Amino acid sequence: MSEQNIEQRVREVFVAILQLPPEKVVLELSPDDCEQWDSLHHIHLVNAINETLGVDLTVEQQVEMLTFDLAVEVVKEAMQGANQ
């Protein structure tokens, strides 16, 4: 899967879970700027990313997801690790 496709799929998860319009899911989106992104929604994001993208994020990776951009990077790393 290309990096652009990964970002798009992660964006779709964020849109669905946080109920945001796609244009609001920008690289720097974080829980600080998004009222919906609380601890419960973070768990839902992780579960949806795992299921949708076929990864199994570690606890460390889940904690690293502090922005949309970091979430995309974590997924890319997890997918690369799974392919090795």
pLDDT tens digits for range 7-66: 999 999 999 999 999 999 999 999 999 999 999 999 999 999 999 999 999 999 999 999
Prediction pTM value: 0.92
Q: What is the DSSP letter of 37?
A: -
Q: What is the DSSP letter of 74?
A: H
- Alpha helices by DSSP H, 38-82: 39-53, 59-64, 68-82
User: Residues 38-57, buried b or exposed e (16+ Cβ, 10 A)?
Assistant: eeebbeebbebbbeebebeb
**Protein fold of 3-82:** 1.10.1200
- What's the pLDDT at 84? 58
- Domain layout of the chain by residue ranges: 3-82
**What size, in residues, is the chain?**
84
